[in-house]
Amino acid sequence: MVDALRPFRHPALFYRGDTEYVDGVVPFLLEGLDRGEPVAVAVPGRNLLLIEKALEDRANEVRLIDMQQAGRNPGAILPSVLHAFAGGHAGPVRIVGEPIWAGRSDVEYPACVVHEALINNAFAGRDLAVLCPYDVGALPPPVLADAERTHPELWGLAGPFVSPRFDPDGVRRDFTRPLVPPAGVVERRFDLGQLGSLRGFAEIWAARHGLRRPRRDDFALAIAELTTNSVLYGGGTGVLRLWAEPSQVVGEVSDGGTIAEPLAGRIPPSPTTLGGRGLLLVNRLADLVRTYWVPGRTTTRVHFAR
């Protein structure tokens, strides 16, 4: 299925029902195992069980990951799932990753699409194949259309073919949308002088709105990282906004900076690089991270379930 002469592959598998799912995914995995390639599967729990059962005694040769847990924040999938596995192997690697499933919320979905687009940037030139299943029986047509734009190759009953709509950079632009806070938010403007107090302020606010430890500590740490980034890289000042929703608390930091690297917070920097770990940590802490940037303006929003 995978042409070894082409280093990086990122096909979307369009399937309908359990049989097509297993028939599309398992041969891809077995082919990799037979070639001696490291293989991982990161899919929702129910589908993980289907694959594990179909692999039978070879399941213990595959790294099995529940994407609903590891990928709850789409921004964490690249560093914590894909790069964490692929980065440990020098040769060819195969991964099945299913970041979009029926049940993803409308708020999560744009971050999922941006993640799919960025996979192409993150692994360009790498000897790696990432197969992404899409349930055509459960996902709406616009989601499948977006998959055609984020994947250079499409697999289905008719066989593999090149996607004529492949446009990952256009997808990133389309889904990097302005983030508008609701009315009545708590708002604090800050600069270097106020920076030291913001972590404690965020922790106290989160406690008042029902976020328990240890997630309350994680929320405060994420706010501290984002506000520090604003002072260091966003023009020295910023605006912190906090608000509560029925099932979560939300924090947002805006500043005058520009994110020049789309993969910021998605790929770990080298051990010798100073800095570059704040957004990475935020992605690992939060249940969802959304970012909007244009030249001279960046807004990062973090969601924590309570």
Q: Which band of pLDDT confidence, cut at 50, 70 and 90, is reported for residue 2?
A: very low
Q: Give residue 169's domain range.
A: 8-175
Q: Are residues 167 and 291 in the same domain?
A: no
pLDDT in tens, 208-265: 999 999 999 999 999 999 999 999 999 999 999 999 999 999 999 999 998 888 899 9
Instruction: Write down which residue in 109, 142, 175 finishes a domain.
Output: 175
CATH number of the domain to which 124 belongs:
3.40.50.300
Among candidates 109, 51, 121, which has minimal Cα distance to 82? 121
- Rounded to whole angstroms, the Cα distance separating 181 from 151 reads 32
**Alpha carbon distances (Å) from 84 to 65, 93, 231:** 12, 12, 30
- Rounded to whole angstroms, the Cα distance separating 99 from 117 reads 12
Q: Which band of pLDDT confidence, cut at 50, 70 and 90, is reported for residue 4?
A: very low
Instruction: Write down which residue in 142, 175, 208 finishes a domain.
Output: 175
The domain tally of the chain equals 2
Q: Are residues 91 and 198 in the same domain?
A: no
Q: Are residues 254 and 292 in the same domain?
A: yes
**Alpha carbon distances (Å) from 27 to 34, 55, 67, 118, 286:** 10, 9, 20, 26, 35
Q: Are residues 214 and 162 in the same domain?
A: no
How do 288-294 and 161-162 pair as beta strands? unpaired
Collect all residues with Cβ–Cβ distance below 8 Å to 157 and sequence separation of at least 6.
20
